[in-house]
Structures are given as structure tokens and as C-alpha cells.
Amino acid sequence: MRRAPLLLLAIVLVVTMFTGVVAADTRAGGTVVIEEGESVNGLSATAGTVIVEGTVNGDLRAYGGDVVVTETGNVTGIVRVYAGSVTINGTAEDTVLVYGGSVTVGESGYVDNSFGAIAGDVTLAGDFGSNVNIFAGTVNLEPTATIGGDLTYEGTLNDRGGTVEGVTQRTQELALIPPLGPLNVVFSVFMFFASPPVR
């Protein structure tokens, strides 16, 4: 019963993280695509489907049914996503913060800084340069996954042989972490925090 208000708090915090972020390029529609070879200076997208095949120089924030960063996709800033399905097969050079029904970082996916997700299920198969913090019904740690920091989670962990260079720990504690640099928001619930850049 305690989880209901905490989940509500999580949703409020995630929605809050989308506010106050200025993006140079704002798009909406049934499908929003940044084509391979295309480059935009920051992107704010609201659509049924958001696909990043090209480069986002700056932050990406996306609301959608499906949000995909393909193998050729690259985001140089912070990624913030609220979607039913989120797939990252490309590169995120900074922190990734996700609220979704199903979240996957594929084998070709790379998150250079910390990764935080609140979702129904999360699959980790790519490379992570820093800490990974997850609240989900199911967390799948695939053999191809490499986490350069700690894995902190709440949910059922299916460890299929992935590499965690730091500590793997399950937590049920409510942790409100100080604001993340210029974002000035709190994303963390149940240890879902984004660590400061490691370099």
C-alpha cells in the first residue's frame, strides 16, 4: 500500500523534470523523425512515435507512445523520455532519465553517464559508463550488458550474466537525492538518481 503514494510521487517528479528545459527544435505530430545524417540543436518532441536516427546536439526530451534512438542515433546532452515504449540502440553522451512501460537499452546502446528508469520492465543489454538506477516490475540484465558503476534496483532482477563493475543492490528505501546540476529537479525515488558526470 505504501507504493501507491510513492509511485505517484515518482510520476510527479518525472513530469517535473520535463519543465523548464529550453529546446531549440520543437516538433509534434503522429511521427517525429530525426533522419540519419540530420542534426538538430536540441529537441523537444511530442508524438505517437519519436525516432532519432541522426544527431541531437544538446538535450532530448520526448513524450510519445514509442521513443527510439536507433544505432545511428546520437544525443550529446541529457535524455528525458516519458513513453509507453523506449528503446535506445544508439549513443547517449550524458545522463538518461526515463519513465516508460517498457524500456530497453540494446546491445548497441551506450549511455556514457548515469541511467535512471521507472518502468514496468527494463532490459539492459548495452554499455553504461556510470551508475544504473531502476524501479521496475522486472529488470533483465543481459549477458552483453556492462555497467561501469553500481546497479541499484527495486523489482525482480533476472541476472543473465551481465557485468557490473560496482555494487549490485536492491533497495526499498525512499531516497530524495539533491538536484542534478542545472536541471534543478529531483528525479529520484527508491534510489533512482542521476549521478553527476564522472568526468
Question: In terms of C-beta density within 10 A (0-12 exposed, 13-18 middle, 19 or more buried), how is residue 37 classed?
Answer: exposed
Cβ neighbours of 4 (radius 10 Å): 8
* Portion of the chain with pLDDT greater than 70, in percent: 74
Question: In terms of C-beta density within 10 A (0-12 exposed, 13-18 middle, 19 or more buried), how is residue 168 classed?
Answer: middle
Tell whether the model's pLDDT for residue 181 goes beyond 70: no
d(CA 52, CA 170) in angstroms, rounded, equals 32
pTM metric for this prediction: 0.77
Tell whether the model's pLDDT for residue 178 goes beyond 80: no
Position 188 scores a pLDDT of 37
Average pLDDT for residues 76-86, to the nearest whole number? 97
Position 171 scores a pLDDT of 85
Average pLDDT for residues 13-42, to the nearest whole number? 76
Average pLDDT for residues 118-136, to the nearest whole number? 96
The three cell numbers of residue 56 are: 541531437
Q: Which residue ranges make up each domain of the chain?
A: 3-168
Q: How far apart are the first and last CA of the chain?
A: 40
Tell whether the model's pLDDT for residue 9 goes beyond 90: no
